[in-house]
């Protein structure tokens, strides 16, 4: 509304000359409709030209009055009513002596000029006011829309069957001041379901999807932990299409983004991506569309038929690097058009997670830049420290469970935490023994696939790029299986082609490193095979979870042999908590008795904020065996639990002897040595004896005198010895020692902190005095009839009878023992981990459990808690070789003997050198091994001529 002071005379003249313009009288002003002030009107022109000379337009007194309902288009003459008396021309002149006398014709030219100038200024003012008002109108209509929506919700709430007026504040509020997003009724319920079916073709919510959608619709900060394939995408895509504005989704992989965009577009949802690979013209177009959303489409003059963008996908790198994009988001947020920010695979935020991405850490700016925009973090695995880190990095408030959210939003607002049962009953877990020879492994995997899933899609995860190619070739060669290879060195176009071929079923089996799979949305993956162990149980859960996303029965198989542990260990040592995580994985695969589901449940409920209920379903509790995994279905005669106290003592004695002589031994070589295989016969003397010269001339083999060292060879199969060695490692009777060279890391085993509990006995007969509780037992697979011809079942039963109580008692006893040590206490729950980062995984305890047959079996696995403590107590020593020579594996202890038994982790097929060389410390003139020969000769040491 304009207030322009006119002199009373001007008012009268104006009205007289332009009677078509309505003159309104207000309490103290006159109004002319500006619309009718047509500059082309001849009368108006006349007025301007000749008779309007007394208009006194004061530009500076013009102002906008937003409160007035008559908005604009009126000019107000804010003279008092009394002054419009026609008589007052004189008075006017008296009041305003500078005004010329209208009756004097000679003054007209001056007035004319002044008036025209004034009128032009007046017009400009009106134009600028119109613009301002248009913009305000746009803002007003969006506020009206918002208001209408809220009003509807409010009325709907009042009409709810179970409404409770004392809780009103927003939808879904209950009397006791909390919201239950999972169960309360909400005004958008019907529309949510409608859109889910119509747009996404999904008939019913599953897991916590409904609750998450409700919390999203209510503008909450949210953390969602749902299993892979659980349906996390729907929980933000559905609210996105139902709310005003755009949802920003940050996702780590371009392939994943492309996949999501494709699905959304097929569903008719307007989704776009802005990544480094988006062509500039596309980016400009998207930016322009978002810009017009921020400005209000009408104001920006965009095509009204153009669909509004509902989801924008980009990588975290884009946020970290593009100021222009961030500025655009800010404009959207200011215009209340940034509905929410979704962070997919949110565990990548944390360095403690298994997929850390540095650019995710920069996402802390989101809360700073957009304090009012809700943030949603999604993940499939989120251990407590990762969750804690995630909340910290993203500046999210304290978490509250989804069924008990305080109605008032605190500052900072609470984060609503959703978690779903991680147990997926359609996945059948199995650990199969892996043959020592590579060819046999390929043969077995091929046979397994052809027998179980001849026509199905699957993934074979391998440890190295080389392995992926080898396995793929072998599967095709041996079984005609159509395979593809995926690893980080494949080009983008190769990866894209493989994705396409796999989706279409042209490629049946993808042999890949773990780079493959994050976010792959292929529902009918019927099997996931691990050619080697995963580095952690979290990783394994995630990788294996890519099977059966459509809910149909699928297989998850690990081929395991203990030697792989060395390879993994050398890789894990560089990671924070790497060994702790690997040990959990080893406990999983070593266990032949406890249901896999229960193992997962125990692990995750202790290592993450996930309660055990995450592993229960509506029908079964977390500790009810799944009934279909290998351990639930394992025939009783296919494994035996043996008392291995003597064998453990022997192995420790051997390793002790190796170390005493200044040598090192790998797991594989210790197993060979213990069985007196790999070369010459037994010797006497100090337990070691010079063997025959090697054909190379400079090398010398020495075999340990097992009779002298440990009363004879260990009477177990090689693979059983390896299994036992892993068990001893997990129970701190052994520890690892790493030897790093420029090319690789070799893992040796050494006596651990608990070894003295056995090695203090001088001979195996003396072990008989060991109390039952101190004896050790271990489970072994039975692949053939045992040598004595007894049935495996009988022997197994006997063994169990003999050792069952022992194992349990041993566990207890060891726990007691540890109570006095100064190892920190372990606790569960996120809050208890504040000052105990290293203990993250130390709080799980594997219990013996009921098998499918309903029998309580003794387990040889001691409490993992103790294992972890062992880890902390005995941090591995890393010896580094400054020279970087491979042959630097030699360890000079200053004595006369030199023993080195090694394994190169880079090749699992290496026929490792296992000789023990007795000699004085050789002079440092050893042959430098070239890169090409590394895998074959890592531990070869050439002696000087005088010692040969
Ligand atoms: N309620 C539902 N009923 C049936 N199918 C569903 C439901 N929700 C999602 N899906 C389907 O399940 C599949 C997996 O969903 P989605 O990709 O969202 O899983 P995710 O949790 O993101 O998995 P990942 O962590 O592996 O990325 C999709 O094909 C999706 O259409």
The answer to whether residues 238 and 262 touch, using CB atoms and an 8 Å cutoff, is no
- CA dist 588 and 150 (Å) reads 52
Residue 523 near ligand 1, beta carbon < 6 Å = yes
- For 178, phi then psi, to 5°, come to -130, 160
Q: What is the ipTM of this complex?
A: 0.98
Give the H or E element holding residue 440: helix 438-453
- CA dist 585 and 564 (Å) reads 12
Question: For residue 524, how far is its CA from the centre of ligand 1 (angstroms)?
Answer: 12
Beta-bridge partner residues of 405: 179
Three-state secondary structure call for residue 47: helix
Query: Quick one: CA torsion of 518, 264, 233, 549, rounded to 10 degrees?
Result: -60
- CA dist 273 and 282 (Å) reads 9
- CA dist 701 and 380 (Å) reads 52
Give the H or E element holding residue 495: helix 492-504
Tell me the CA distances in angstroms from 430 to 95, 555, 589, one per residue in order. Answer: 103, 8, 9
For the whole prediction, is pTM greater than 0.90? no
Query: Quick one: CA torsion of 275, 280, 286, 288, rounded to 10 degrees?
Result: 140
Pocket test residue of 199, 212, 225, 229 for ligand 1, highest count of atoms within 8 A of CB: 229
The answer to whether residues 495 and 485 touch, using CB atoms and an 8 Å cutoff, is no
Nearest to 514 by CA among 458, 461, 578: 461
Residue 205 near ligand 1, beta carbon < 6 Å = yes
The answer to whether residues 705 and 688 touch, using CB atoms and an 8 Å cutoff, is yes
Question: For residue 617, how far is its CA from the centre of ligand 1 (angstroms)?
Answer: 18
Pocket test residue of 192, 208, 227, 233 for ligand 1, highest count of atoms within 8 A of CB: 233
- CA dist 774 and 809 (Å) reads 8
Question: For residue 212, how far is its CA from the centre of ligand 1 (angstroms)?
Answer: 14
Write down the residue that tokens 């379901």 correspond to: 193
Three-state secondary structure call for residue 576: coil
Three-state secondary structure call for residue 23: strand
Residue 549 near ligand 1, beta carbon < 6 Å = yes
The answer to whether residues 306 and 319 touch, using CB atoms and an 8 Å cutoff, is no
Burial environment of residue 128 by CB neighbours within 10 A (0 to 12, 13 to 18, 19 or more): exposed
Beta-bridge partner residues of 399: 415
- CA dist 719 and 661 (Å) reads 26
Question: For residue 663, how far is its CA from the centre of ligand 1 (angstroms)?
Answer: 54
Write down the residue that tokens 């042209």 correspond to: 506
Residue 234 near ligand 1, beta carbon < 6 Å = yes
- CA dist 701 and 686 (Å) reads 15
Residue 229 near ligand 1, beta carbon < 6 Å = yes
Question: For residue 181, how far is its CA from the centre of ligand 1 (angstroms)?
Answer: 20
Question: Can you point out the beta strands (E) in 666-760?
Answer: 688-693, 700-704, 734-740, 745-751
DSSP assignment, residue 547? S
Write down the residue that tokens 């009394």 correspond to: 82
- CA dist 2 and 192 (Å) reads 47
Tell me the CA distances in angstroms from 173 to 153, 165, 383, one per residue in order. Answer: 12, 9, 31
The predicted structure's pLDDT at residue 869 = 33
User: What is the three-state SS of 509-536?
Assistant: EEEECCCCCCCCCCCCEEEEEECCCCCC
Protein residue with least CA distance to atom 11, ligand 1: 231
CA-based radius of gyration for the chain: 40
Tell how strand 639-643 and strand 509-512 pair up.
unpaired
Tell me the CA distances in angstroms from 739 to 744, 757, 883, 903, 928, one per residue in order. Answer: 8, 27, 13, 11, 17
Residue 519 near ligand 1, beta carbon < 6 Å = yes
Residue 226 near ligand 1, beta carbon < 6 Å = yes
Q: Which residues of 89-108 are buried (b: 16+ CB within 10 A; e: fewer)?
A: beebbeeeeebbebeeeeeb
Q: Which numbered atom of ligand 1 lies nearest the CA of 196?
A: 1
The answer to whether residues 711 and 647 touch, using CB atoms and an 8 Å cutoff, is no
Three-state secondary structure call for residue 425: coil
Q: What angle in degrees, to the nearest 10, is found between the helix axes of 209-217 and 189-200?
A: 120
Residue 231 near ligand 1, beta carbon < 6 Å = yes
**Cis peptide preceding 286, ω within 30 of 0:** no
Structure tokens at 147: 């208001």
The predicted structure's pLDDT at residue 201 = 93
CA angle at 297 for the pair 293 and 299, rounded to the nearest 5°: 120
Residue 198 near ligand 1, beta carbon < 6 Å = no
CA 343 from centre of chain: 9
Burial environment of residue 456 by CB neighbours within 10 A (0 to 12, 13 to 18, 19 or more): middle
Q: What angle in degrees, to the nearest 10, is found between the helix axes of 864-873 and 578-590?
A: 150
Residue 544 near ligand 1, beta carbon < 6 Å = no
Mean pLDDT, each 10-residue run in order, the chain (948 residues): 44 50 44 45 48 39 37 37 39 45 57 84 91 85 73 53 36 64 89 94 91 94 86 94 94 83 91 86 91 72 71 89 90 92 88 68 88 92 79 90 79 84 88 93 97 96 95 96 93 84 92 80 90 91 88 95 89 78 94 93 68 56 85 92 93 92 88 70 37 40 76 91 95 90 84 91 84 89 60 37 32 26 25 26 27 33 34 36 28 29 30 27 34 28 27
Residue 235 near ligand 1, beta carbon < 6 Å = no
Structure tokens at 473: 């070739």
The answer to whether residues 372 and 245 touch, using CB atoms and an 8 Å cutoff, is no
Q: Which residues of 220-238 are buried (b: 16+ CB within 10 A; e: fewer)?
A: bbbbbbbbbbbbbbbbbbb
Tell how strand 399-401 and strand 415-419 pair up.
parallel
The predicted structure's pLDDT at residue 911 = 23
- CA dist 593 and 716 (Å) reads 20
**What string of DSSP letters covers 874-942?**
TPPEEEE-TT--GGGG----SSS---B---BTT-TT------B---SPPPS-PPPPPGGGHHHHTT--P
- CA dist 625 and 555 (Å) reads 17
Can you list the alpha helix ranges (DSSP code H) found in 159-279? 189-200, 209-217, 232-242, 254-266
Protein residue with least CA distance to atom 12, ligand 1: 231
The answer to whether residues 232 and 345 touch, using CB atoms and an 8 Å cutoff, is no
Number of C-beta neighbours around residue 436 at 10 A: 15
Protein residue with least CA distance to atom 10, ligand 1: 231
Q: What is the pLDDT of residues 36-65, one digit of tens each?
A: 444 454 544 544 454 444 333 333 333 433
**What string of DSSP letters covers 378-409?**
EES---HHHHHHHHHHTT---EEETTSEESS-
Protein residue with least CA distance to atom 8, ligand 1: 231
The answer to whether residues 384 and 371 touch, using CB atoms and an 8 Å cutoff, is no
Nearest to 58 by CA among 18, 104, 96, 86: 96
Q: Which numbered atom of ligand 1 lies nearest the CA of 200?
A: 31
Residue 747 CB contacts under 8 Å (≥ 6 apart), including other chains: 566, 569, 570, 666, 667, 736, 737, 738, 739, 903, 905
Report the residue count for the chain.
948
The predicted structure's pLDDT at residue 522 = 83
Protein residue with least CA distance to atom 26, ligand 1: 228
Protein residue with least CA distance to atom 9, ligand 1: 231
The answer to whether residues 228 and 380 touch, using CB atoms and an 8 Å cutoff, is yes
DSSP assignment, residue 71? -
**What string of DSSP letters covers 117-169?**
HHHHHHHHHHHHHHHHHHHHHHHHHHHHHHHHHHHHHHHHHHT-TT--GGG-S
- CA dist 674 and 647 (Å) reads 9
- CA dist 825 and 819 (Å) reads 9
Question: For residue 200, how far is its CA from the centre of ligand 1 (angstroms)?
Answer: 11
Question: For residue 267, how far is its CA from the centre of ligand 1 (angstroms)?
Answer: 14
Q: Which numbered atom of ligand 1 lies nearest the CA of 209?
A: 1
- CA dist 512 and 471 (Å) reads 9
Phi-psi region of 723 (alpha: psi -120 to 50; beta: other; left: phi over 0): alpha
């Amino acid at each position: 509304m304009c207030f322009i002071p006119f002199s009373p005379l001007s008012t009268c003249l104006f009205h007289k000359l332009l009677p078509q313009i309505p003159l309104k009288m207000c309490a103290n002003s006159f109004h002319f409709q500006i619309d009718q002030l047509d500059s082309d009107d001849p009368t108006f022109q006349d007025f301007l030209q000749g008779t309007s000379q007394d208009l006194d337009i004061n530009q500076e007194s013009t102002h906008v009055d937003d409160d007035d309902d008559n908005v604009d288009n009126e000019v107000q003459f804010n003279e008092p009513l009394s002054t419009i008396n026609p008589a007052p021309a004189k008075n006017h002149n008296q009041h305003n002596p500078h005004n010329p006398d209208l009756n004097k014709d000679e003054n007209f030219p001056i007035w004319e000029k002044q008036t025209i100038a004034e009128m032009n200024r007046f017009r400009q003012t009106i134009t600028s006011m119109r613009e301002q008002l248009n913009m305000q109108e746009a803002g007003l209509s969006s506020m009206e829309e918002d208001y209408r929506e809220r009003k509807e919700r409010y009325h709907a709430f009042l009409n709810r069957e179970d409404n409770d007026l004392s809780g009103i504040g927003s939808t879904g509020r209950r009397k006791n001041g909390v919201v239950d997003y999972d169960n309360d009724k909400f005004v958008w319920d019907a529309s949510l379901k409608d859109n889910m079916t119509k747009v996404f073709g999904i008939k019913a919510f599953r897991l916590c999807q409904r609750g998450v959608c409700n919390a999203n619709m209510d503008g909450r900060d949210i953390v969602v932990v749902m299993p892979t394939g659980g349906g996390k995408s729907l929980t933000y895509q559905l609210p996105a299409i139902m709310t005003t504005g755009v949802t920003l989704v940050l996702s780590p992989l371009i392939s994943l983004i492309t996949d999501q965009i494709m699905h959304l577009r097929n569903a008719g949802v307007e989704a776009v991506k802005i990544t480094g690979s988006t062509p500039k013209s596309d980016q400009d177009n998207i930016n322009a569309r978002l810009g017009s959303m921020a400005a209000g489409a009408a104001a920006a003059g965009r095509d009204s038929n153009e669909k509004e963008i509902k989801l924008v996908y980009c990588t975290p790198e884009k946020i970290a690097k593009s100021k222009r994009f961030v500025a655009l988001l800010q404009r959207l947020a200011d215009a209340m058009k940034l509905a929410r920010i979704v962070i997919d695979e949110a565990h990548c935020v944390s360095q403690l997670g298994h997929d850390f991405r540095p650019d995710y850490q920069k996402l802390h700016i989101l809360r700073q830049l957009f304090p009012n925009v809700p943030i949603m973090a999604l993940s499939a695995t989120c251990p407590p420290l990762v969750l804690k880190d995630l909340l910290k990095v993203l500046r999210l408030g304290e978490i509250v469970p989804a069924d008990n959210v305080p109605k008032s939003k605190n500052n900072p607002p609470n984060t609503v935490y959703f978690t779903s049962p991680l147990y997926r009953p359609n996945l059948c877990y199995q650990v199969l023994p892996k043959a020592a020879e590579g060819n046999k492994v390929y043969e077995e995997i091929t046979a397994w696939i052809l027998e179980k899933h001849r026509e199905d899609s699957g993934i074979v995860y391998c440890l190295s790029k080389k392995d992926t190619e080898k396995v793929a070739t072998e599967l095709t060669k041996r079984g005609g299986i159509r395979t593809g290879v995926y690893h980080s060195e494949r080009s983008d176009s190769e990866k894209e082609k493989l994705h396409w071929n796999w989706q279409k079923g042209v490629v049946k089996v993808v042999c890949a490193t773990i780079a493959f799979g994050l976010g792959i949305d292929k529902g009918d993956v019927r099997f996931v095979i691990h050619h080697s162990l995963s580095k952690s149980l979290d990783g394994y859960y995630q990788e294996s979870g890519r099977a059966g996303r459509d809910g149909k029965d699928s297989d998850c198989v690990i081929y395991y042999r203990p030697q792989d542990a060395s390879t993994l260990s050398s890789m894990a040592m560089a990671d924070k908590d790497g060994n702790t995580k690997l040990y959990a994985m080893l406990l999983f695969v070593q266990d032949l008795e406890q249901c896999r589901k229960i193992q997962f449940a125990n692990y995750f409920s202790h290592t993450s904020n996930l309660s055990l209920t995450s592993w229960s379903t509506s029908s079964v509790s977390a500790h009810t065996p799944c009934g279909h995994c290998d351990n639930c279905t394992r025939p009783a005669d296919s494994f035996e639990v043996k008392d291995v106290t003597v064998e453990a003592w022997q192995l420790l004695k051997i390793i002790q002897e190796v170390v005493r002589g200044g040598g090192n031994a790998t797991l594989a070589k210790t197993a060979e040595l213990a069985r007196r295989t790999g070369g010459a016969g037994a010797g006497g003397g100090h337990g070691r004896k010079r063997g025959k010269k090697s054909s190379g001339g400079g090398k010398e083999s020495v075999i340990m005198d097992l009779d002298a060292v440990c009363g004879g060879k260990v009477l177990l199969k090689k693979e059983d010895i390896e299994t036992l060695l892993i068990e001893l490692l997990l129970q701190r009777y052994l520890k690892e020692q790493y030897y790093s060279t420029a090319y690789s890391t070799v893992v040796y085993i050494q006596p651990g902190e608990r070894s003295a509990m056995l090695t203090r006995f001088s001979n195996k007969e003396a072990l008989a005095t060991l109390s039952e509780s101190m004896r050790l037992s271990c489970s072994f697979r039975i692949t053939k009839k045992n040598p004595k011809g007894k049935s495996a079942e009988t022997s197994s039963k006997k063994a169990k009878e003999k050792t069952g109580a022992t194992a349990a008692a041993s566990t207890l006893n060891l726990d007691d023992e540890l109570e006095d040590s100064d190892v920190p206490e372990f606790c569960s729950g996120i809050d208890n981990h504040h000052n105990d980062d290293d203990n993250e995984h130390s709080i799980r305890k594997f219990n013996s459990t009921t098998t499918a047959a309903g029998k309580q079996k003794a387990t040889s696995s001691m409490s993992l808690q103790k294992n972890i403590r062992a880890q902390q107590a005995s941090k591995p020593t890393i010896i580094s070789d400054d020279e970087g020579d491979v042959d630097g594996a030699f360890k000079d202890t200053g004595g006369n003997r030199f023993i080195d038994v090694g394994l190169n982790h880079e090749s699992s097929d290496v026929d490792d050198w296992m000789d023990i060389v007795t000699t004085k410390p050789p002079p440092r003139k050893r042959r430098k091994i070239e890169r090409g020969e590394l895998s074959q000769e890592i531990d070869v040491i050439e002696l000087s001529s005088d010692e040969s």
